Amino acid sequence: MSKSLISLSALSALALSAGLLSGAAQASEDLAKAKFCVGCHQIDKKLLGPAYKDVAKKYAGVAGAEGDLAKKIRGGSKGVWGGAEMPANSAVSEAEAATLAKWILSLK
């Protein structure tokens, strides 16, 4: 196989994976909207709760952050971002919480 054909195949694979990732990101944002997370959180600005990008910065490089965040999404938290309490969201399944946590932590 020629180098140009291999390079074209590699570029096609990258483009495809980028499209899939952006589709996954949109699906995760849609999930956040469906579960009413956006009533308190936005991607890049603080509302009642911190911006998702601020959460991603706070937990960048922290071991176990994805699992911890998923637990907070389902079970709520208090005192992590000051005095405000994040209520539990039992409408979010464990799988959905994991998806949301992974998405939030990917926002940089």
Are the CB atoms for 108 and 60 separated by under 8 Å? Answer: yes
Q: Cα separation of 91 and 88, whole Å? A: 9
The domain tally of the chain equals 1
Q: Whole-prediction pTM value? A: 0.76
Per-residue pLDDT at 83: 86
**Rounded-to-10 torsion of CA 37, 38, 43, 46:** -100
What domain range is 9 assigned to?
3-106
pLDDT tens across 40-62, in order? 999 999 999 999 999 999 999 99
Average predicted confidence (pLDDT) for the chain = 83
Residue with tokens 């694979």: 13
CATH code of the domain covering residue 17: 1.10.760.10
> In whole angstroms, how far apart are CA 42 and each of 14, 35, 38, 39, 104?
29, 13, 6, 8, 10
Enumerate the known binding-site residues.
37, 41, 86
Enumerate the known binding-site residues for heme c.
37, 41, 86
DSSP 41: B
pLDDT tens across 60-97, in order? 999 999 999 999 999 999 999 988 899 999 999 999 99
Per-residue pLDDT at 55: 97
Residue 86 β-bridge partners: 77
- Is a pLDDT exceeding 60 seen at residue 9? no
